[in-house]
């Protein structure tokens, strides 16, 4: 089964909502948990439990686990394994990217079946060159997994770089999308390559026409706390709206451990309204 087929099944069952598992220190405090490896482990497991049956996709933010060193990585391994055993699609928000054998190492870490850090998909940065991600993309295609590549992100610091234009006038973000689309076509790897497009952006400013994205799955952060509204998915992404995985995190997690499930249910209602 390809990653695209798995995503389609999950979306058909529970909708396109994704819960970001982001154990910020302030959220840990709000949940009554310590800011250590044990705290992020408990936070992550509680989030997985709240997601199960409500959403089909979770996205642990690796940085909040790895800041606690080896014990934090151990907590991340347990959280991701628990989520995958529960049937959730796990996107490791690791934003990895490098060249040659180093990229192969990242592929082995995050996408190899049986790896301690095995996820169903991983986020990656293309700014060492989209071609440098080939080991990650090939491993994803071979294992039925996915790589979501940053193209137009929702953080304001990225605007200058991502809207910069090549010599022929094509914006950098648009070039990333075009290269991923060509890679998918050349390798017949439907769904292995996806793209990250911030929901807070006006995609036209980045030279991106949602109708030209082809089969690329879209991971869309920026909903909730950052300002994008779930009930405007169709307006924001046009013809590509059915390909969108809408990620929410702090806007839901701030409801506390006891309120996450209800907050997710409210978010799902907004998506249905779209």
Q: What is the pLDDT of residue 56?
A: 95
Angle between helices 172-187 and 134-143 (to 10 degrees): 40
Q: What is the pLDDT of residue 191?
A: 84
Average pLDDT across the chain, whole number: 94
> How many CA atoms lie less than 13 Å away from 215 in the CB half-sphere?
18
Q: What is the pLDDT of residue 184?
A: 93
Summarised one tens digit per residue, pLDDT across range 129-143 is: 999 999 999 999 999
Q: What is the pLDDT of residue 166?
A: 92
Summarised one tens digit per residue, pLDDT across range 182-200 is: 999 998 888 899 999 999 9
| pTM across the whole model | 0.96
Taking alpha carbons only, the member of 87, 54, 58 closest to residue 267 is 54
Note every long-range contact of 235-238, with CB atoms under 8 Å and residues 24 or more positions apart, other chains counting: 236/199, 237/197, 237/203, 237/210, 238/210, 238/211
Q: 174 pLDDT exceeds 80?
A: yes
Burial 246-272 (b: 16+ CB within 10 A, else e): bbbbebbbbbebeebbebbeebbebbe
- Which CATH number is 192's domain given? 3.20.20.70
**Active-site residue 95, yes or no?**
yes
Summarised one tens digit per residue, pLDDT across range 46-96 is: 999 999 988 999 999 999 999 999 999 999 999 999 999 999 999 999 999
Helix (H, G, I), strand (E, B) or coil at 143: helix
| Cβ neighbour number for residue 109 with a 10 Å cutoff | 17
Summarised one tens digit per residue, pLDDT across range 91-117 is: 999 999 999 899 999 999 999 999 999
Catalytic: which of 95, 190, 232, 250? 95
Residue-range definition of the domain harbouring residue 46: 3-273
Summarised one tens digit per residue, pLDDT across range 197-228 is: 999 999 999 999 998 898 899 999 989 778 88
How many domains, in total, are found in the chain?
A: 1
């Amino acid at each position: 089964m390809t990653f695209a087929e798995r995503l389609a099944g999950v979306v058909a069952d529970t909708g396109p909502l994704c819960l970001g598992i982001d154990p910020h220190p302030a959220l840990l405090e709000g949940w009554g948990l310590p800011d250590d490896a044990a705290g992020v482990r408990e936070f992550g497991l509680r989030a997985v439990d709240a997601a199960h049956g409500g959403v089909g996709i979770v996205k642990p933010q690796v940085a909040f686990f790895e800041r606690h060193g080896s014990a934090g990585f151990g907590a991340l391994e347990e959280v991701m394994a628990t989520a995958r055993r529960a049937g959730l699609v796990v996107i490791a928000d690791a934003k990895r990217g490098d060249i040659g054998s180093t990229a192969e190492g990242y592929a082995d870490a995050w996408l190899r079946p049986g790896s301690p850090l095995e996820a169903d998909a991983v986020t990656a940065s293309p700014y060492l060159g989209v071609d440098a991600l080939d080991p990650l993309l090939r491993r994803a295609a071979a294992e039925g997994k996915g790589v979501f590549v940053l193209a137009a992100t929702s953080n304001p610091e990225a605007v200058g770089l991502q809207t910069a234009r090549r010599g022929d006038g094509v914006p950098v973000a648009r070039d990333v999308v075009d290269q991923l689309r060509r890679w998918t076509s050349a390798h017949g790897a439907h769904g292995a390559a996806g793209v990250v497009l911030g929901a807070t952006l006006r995609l036209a400013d980045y030279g991106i026409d949602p109708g030209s994205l082809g089969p690329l799955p879209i991971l869309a952060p920026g909903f909730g706390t950052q300002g994008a509204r779930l009930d405007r998915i169709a307006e924001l992404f046009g013809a590509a709206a059915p390909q969108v995985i809408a990620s929410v995190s702090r806007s839901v997690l701030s409801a506390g451990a006891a309120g996450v499930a209800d907050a997710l249910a409210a978010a799902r209602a907004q998506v249905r309204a779209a």
